Amino acid sequence: MSILLKIYAHNGALYYRPLKTIIPEPINYFPLTAAQYDTNNIWTDQISGRSLTGSENHIAAGVYRIKNFDDGLLLNSYRTDTAIPLLHNYDYTSSAALLYGCALTIRIKPGQFEGYPMALCVLYGEKGEYNRNEKLVIAIEQRQLVVFYCAKGESNPERIETGVSLNPQHQWTSVGLNFHNNKGYGLAGVYINNHLMPLNIMRLKQFSGIYLFGFVSGDEEQYEDKVIATFNGAIAHAKLFNTPLIQAEFKTILDSYDDSTNNGVVFTQFEHKTELIKMFLDVKNNDKDNDPPPPPPDGNIGNGEQLPPNQPPSGNTGNSGTRPPLQPPGGSKG
């Protein structure tokens, strides 16, 4: 804990008064805002300059600008016609994307996929054969924070409830996670809504690193009949710290965000700032549309002659009344 103190003496005794909490410095910072989208630096660490994709100026796949909002981005999707989130996205889970740290702060607005768990981050432990690595998945499901633990060599993860609920639907949630305490590594505690909740889900036998928003390629997990999806929803301001944070430090960092603003469904803004135009065909229905068609002509063809019904006119077709019908020219038709 870092606190600035004022120390003074009075009547032979020493006194101190805390002045303020010093904001801890992150070791990795991904703003995840429109500015990074516009410069193709979405997965570039603002502190070290390292790219999680392994290449600079990488055009990120599955990341979109949010319409009328520059302080965050949409990852994968927010709603789909099938109500199924994007299950895999290897763009940010290559081997270059492995991070190390003991605390994470981030803002999220999960997509509307209530029936699927979505990985917010994955903590890796012991390395196993055939991609059966030990891992602890911190996921969002039914707007609850849940944990899936998979032991090395096992294929059936254990699901663990945390009792932590996110903010209401279509609202941002600023959350802090501690991954280490004196009992080891795992999910030590969660800071949300001005309160740090100790959880002590310390299952990892060792700690090998963290992947944000999903699994390393080919290492996905399935719980019962559903794949644990990558994170789908809005994200912003991911910061990783090398030590666990106390409540006052989480508060100092996360109080700078206002979760009560910018509520509502996330809509995307295309790369060239164009919008999808809805076109409607306006079919008017008025009294004229219902009028019967005019009656057929009475057979008067211009010279007062009346024709019998359903009979073609004679060669008399105009006011002259004397000119015979045209005949084909004589001679060769070649």
Q: What is the pLDDT of residues 10-55, one digit of tens each?
A: 556 665 666 666 789 999 999 999 999 999 999 999 999 999 987 7
Q: What is the pLDDT of residues 206-231, one digit of tens each?
A: 999 999 999 887 777 878 778 899 99
φ, ψ at 289 (rounded to 5°): -65, -25
Q: How buried is 123 (Cβ within 10 angstroms: 0-12 exposed, 13-18 middle, 19+ buried)?
A: buried
Provide the CB-side half-sphere exposure for 207 (13 A, CA).
18
Tokens coding 105:
């702060």
Domains of the chain (ranges; CATH) run: 26-269 (2.60.120)
The two structure tokens encoding residue 331 = 């001679």
Contact 211, 98 (CB under 8 A): yes
- Using alpha carbons, select from 204, 213, 254, 259 the residue that is nearest to residue 232: 213
More confident site: 189 or 327: 189
- Beta strands 13-21 and 3-10: pairing type? antiparallel
Q: What proportion of the chain, given as a percentage, has pLDDT over 70? A: 74
- pTM above the 0.85 mark? no
d(CA 40, CA 56): 8
Residue with tokens 């009346």: 306
Residue labelled with tokens 């994470």: 104
